[in-house]
Amino acid sequence: MCHQTIGLIARHLEEAGIPTVVAGSARDIVEECGVARFVFTDFPLGNPTGKPGDVGMQRAIVGTALDLLERAWLPRTTVQTPYVWDADDNDGWRNHFMRVDDSNRAALVAAGEARRRDQAAAKADGRARTT
C-alpha cells in the first residue's frame, strides 16, 4: 500500500510540474499506478534504498535515482538495480512473504477478524480517516 500511496503523490507532483523519482521494491504496484521515473530494487519490502549497513549499495541506489532524474526523457522509465537480496536462496523470501497455505490458513482468518474488529473500533472512536 505504501507503494501505491507514493505512486499517487508522484503523479500529483509531476502534474504540478515537479519532477519525481520513486525508489521502491514493489514493481507491479508502482508501474500499474504509473510514475515518471522508477528505480526498482528487487528486495523484500523495507529497504528500497539499500541493505542495512551497506553504505556503498545505498549510495549506488540513490545515485542511480539521481542519474534517472537527469537522463529519463519519457515517463514510465524503470531502471532495475543489479542487487540480489540472498545469493544462496533468492526465492526463499519471495515464497515466504504473504504466503497462504494449510499451515497458516486458520491464523489468517483470525487475523482478518481481528483487523475488522480494530477497524470498526477505530471508526467508532474517530481514529480512522473518514474525510
DSSP code at position 43: S
Q: Is 98 left (phi over 0), alpha (psi -120 to 50) or beta?
A: left
Q: Is 77 helix (H, G, I), strand (E, B) or coil?
A: strand
- Give me the DSSP letters along 101-121: STTTHHHHHHHHHHHHHHHHH
CB-based burial of residue 67 (10 Å sphere; 0-12 exposed, 13-18 middle, 19+ buried)?
middle
**78 counts as binding other proteins under rule CB under 8 A:** no
Pick one of 16, 102, 103, 124: the residue that binds other proteins (CB under 8 A): 16
CB of 28 to other proteins, least distance (A): 5
Pick one of 2, 117, 118, 120: the residue that binds other proteins (CB under 8 A): 2
Pick one of 117, 120, 121, 128: the residue that binds other proteins (CB under 8 A): 128
- The owner of cell 470498526 is 120
**129 counts as binding other proteins under rule CB under 8 A:** yes
**18 counts as binding other proteins under rule CB under 8 A:** yes
**121 counts as binding other proteins under rule CB under 8 A:** no
- Please report, as residue ranges, which positions from 31 to 50 form the binding site for other proteins (by CB under 8 A): 32-36, 40, 42-50
**124 counts as binding other proteins under rule CB under 8 A:** no
Cell readout for 71 is 537522463
Binding-site size, other proteins (CB under 8 A) = 88
CB of 120 to other proteins, least distance (A): 14
